[in-house]
Amino acid sequence: MAALAAALILVAFVIAYRFYARFLGERVFEDHEELVTPAHDLEDGIDFVPTQRAVLFGHHFTSIAGAAPIIGPCVAAYWGWGPALAWVVLGTIFMGAAHDFGALVASVREKGHSIADITARTVSKRARILFMCFVLVLIWLVLAVFAMAIAGLFVSQPTSVVPINIQIIVAIVIGWLVYKRRVKILVPSLIALAVLYFFVWVGTKVPIDFVAMGADEHRVTTGWIFFLLIYSAIASLLPVWLLLQPRDYINSHQLFVGLGLLFLGVLVAHPSFDAPVYRSPEAGAPAIFPILFVTIACGAISGFHGLVSSGTTSKQVNRLRDTRLIGYGGMLGEGSLALASTLAAVAGIGLVGACALPSQGAVDDLSWAVYYDSWAHAGGNKAAAFVLGGGAFLEAVGLSSELARTLMAVLVIAFAATSLDTATRIQRFILAELGTALRIKPLTNPYIATIVAVVPAMYLALAETPDPATGQAKAVGWVLWPIFGASNQLLAGLTLMTLALYFFARKRTVWPLVLPMLLVMPVAALALLTKLQQFLAEGNAPLTALASLMLVLLLWMVAEGALAVRRLVR
């Protein structure tokens, strides 16, 4: 049953690319037009670099494929397999892929400016400032939480430390070979992939476990967070060809191999769904509507993707016609990752025996009913279902249990780390654009902008505050995280609004952008209102204020959008 569902969904993705992506490219985005892209027009060897389509696809794909399309489906499986798979498929094909494709094309046409800056031209200058403020808060939260998530995985999965850090060194070597020695990238990247898998095996034999060496776990986690954010700051300042491009290209190979092995494991193991089609939530758990639609965000539609498309990817596009594969195809790849994560949570988990769960400790025989016995456990276990259930699929094709779980952990960390680098770079661009708009010259300096990008995220990750729900001390970033999903979808809705106005002004068909906007924006706003009611009931003043601010910014921008429509139809 699970194998059949996987096959049908993957075929649906292929058909969508063949027909719907072509329709969008020809009728909405005009991606066949010949124009000088920003990568050529503004080439600087650092951020604006003309890049081969395959290499840029790898960079874009792995930049958007962070931890969210893995964690979201793992949590959403609480409501059963039917709603999760339906939202992944429909959201990816008709919403997320159109959103990403459109943001990339618009940015390429506008000299690589971010979607926030494009808002000034299509909506108003006031809307641009509002959009940028919305984005800044969201990215600071992403940086903090991704750093905390990776640090936590380094502590819980010490076998992943060696391969992840070796990959950085290998990527720099590949970048130097390709851009300085003019070596074709494919063969070196495949050799690098083999080296990475060798060090995955080395990591299982020689784990870097500072806690086992006697260090305090909290201090170890803090050290990793500090290291990761400093690293992301340095990586965001390096020329994009030296580290980000080659590492992401290697990561794309790793993801394709990993996904191939996972889907092969599904075919070999041929598991049944261990979860029901639909499960009614327990008392006190959130209702499926609207929370499902913001729990699975990056695996269906994500505002963060629009920032990647218009932040880093658009500055490297060689030809406009490349945007279809990179923008629409990249989101289909992310949908495939969300599909694999969902299958691991609703089918692979039934193949797991004795194990340890983050929220429940040791379990003799794992099943969906045990893993998802409560909403609190579903949220607390996060990506464990992917690591354990996906590991069971890999065991079905002959890998050892230890190697399979290390490989799954490396997949999660590698893509979270890629998104961490990219988010830091995007934040630097947004701060520079904000500095230009507000005439704050220091923000246009890349080094100062990078410091401003990282320091608030470091505070969110390292500072602690009492959790209003439990009273226990918790990182500020984790306390704020409950509003991320809704805010991320609101950002997607605002991006779709900007894109619809942009292409409407060009006299193009815009219903493929308007319809997703009309679905995503109200649902995300309702989810944020639901969270706001919860925060008020808990007496959580900081989250109440932040959620209220997000809603005010949303309403203000929608009003600005309505005024823009009025101007265009006159």
- C-alpha closest to that of 77 among 362, 284, 386: 386
* Contact call for residues 553 and 490 (beta carbons, < 8 A): no
Predicted confidence (pLDDT) per residue in 88-137, tens digit: 999 999 999 999 999 999 999 999 998 988 988 888 888 888 888 888 88
Position 465 scores a pLDDT of 74
Angle between helices 446-462 and 125-156 (to 10 degrees): 50
Assigned token pair, 525: 């706003």
Angle between helices 401-438 and 384-396 (to 10 degrees): 140
* Contact call for residues 367 and 385 (beta carbons, < 8 A): no
Most confident listed range (78-92, 184-198, 536-550): 78-92
Question: What residues contact 200, with CB distance under 8 A and at least 6 apart?
Answer: 163, 403, 406, 407, 410
Distance CA 167, CA 146 (A): 18
Distance CA 257, CA 261 (A): 6
Predicted confidence (pLDDT) per residue in 285-304, tens digit: 888 998 899 899 888 999 99
Q: Which residue has the higher pLDDT, 246 or 102?
A: 102
Residue 379 has pLDDT above 70, yes or no: yes
Q: CA 26 from chain center: how many Å?
A: 27
Position 11 scores a pLDDT of 97
Other beta carbons within 10 Å of 180: 10
Please provide the DSSP assignment of 506-522 as one string.
TT---HHHHHHHHHHHH
* Contact call for residues 358 and 382 (beta carbons, < 8 A): yes
Distance CA 467, CA 461 (A): 14
Query: What string of H, E and C letters represents the secondary structure of 480-497?
Result: HHHHHHHHHHHHHHHHHH
* Contact call for residues 475 and 463 (beta carbons, < 8 A): yes
Distance CA 91, CA 496 (A): 14
Other beta carbons within 10 Å of 376: 13
Could you give the angle at the alpha carbon of 393 between the alpha carbons of 392 and 399, nearest 5°?
75
Predicted confidence (pLDDT) per residue in 428-461, tens digit: 989 998 898 888 999 999 999 999 999 999 998 9
Position 223 scores a pLDDT of 93
Whole-Å CA distances, 443 to 55, 202, 427, 450:
31, 43, 11, 9
Helix (H), strand (E) at residue 107? helix 97-109
Residue 491 has pLDDT above 80, yes or no: yes
% of the chain with per-residue pLDDT over 70: 99
Helix (H), strand (E) at residue 546? helix 541-569
Banded model confidence at residue 353, pLDDT cuts 50, 70, 90: confident
Average pLDDT over residues 157-176: 87
Banded model confidence at residue 469, pLDDT cuts 50, 70, 90: low
Residue 67 has pLDDT above 80, yes or no: no
Mean pLDDT of the chain: 89
Assigned token pair, 458: 């470091």
Residue 467 has pLDDT above 70, yes or no: no
* Contact call for residues 169 and 87 (beta carbons, < 8 A): no
Residue 310 has pLDDT above 70, yes or no: yes
- C-alpha closest to that of 298 among 515, 478, 114, 142: 142
* Contact call for residues 508 and 546 (beta carbons, < 8 A): no
- C-alpha closest to that of 357 among 341, 373, 340: 373
* Contact call for residues 174 and 192 (beta carbons, < 8 A): yes
% of the chain with per-residue pLDDT over 90: 43
- Phi first, then psi: what are they for 49, rounded to 5°? -140, 115
Average pLDDT over residues 368-382: 87
Average pLDDT over residues 544-552: 84
The domain 2-569 having CATH identifier 3.30.565.10: the answer here is: no
Distance CA 455, CA 189 (A): 34
Position 470 scores a pLDDT of 61
Distance CA 357, CA 373 (A): 12
Distance CA 236, CA 239 (A): 8
Residue 217 has pLDDT above 90, yes or no: no
Distance CA 185, CA 308 (A): 23
Whole-Å CA distances, 5 to 82, 290, 319:
10, 25, 36
8-state DSSP, 189: H
Distance CA 146, CA 18 (A): 34
Q: Which residue has the higher pLDDT, 381 or 274?
A: 274
Please provide the DSSP assignment of 375-421 as one string.
HHHHHHHTTHHHHHHHHHHHHHTT--HHHHHHHHHHHHHHHHHHHHH
Average pLDDT over residues 165-189: 85
**Which residue bears the tokens 């590991």?**
391
Average pLDDT over residues 1-15: 94
Position 471 scores a pLDDT of 66
Q: What is the pTM of this model?
A: 0.90
Banded model confidence at residue 73, pLDDT cuts 50, 70, 90: very high
Residue 243 has pLDDT above 90, yes or no: no
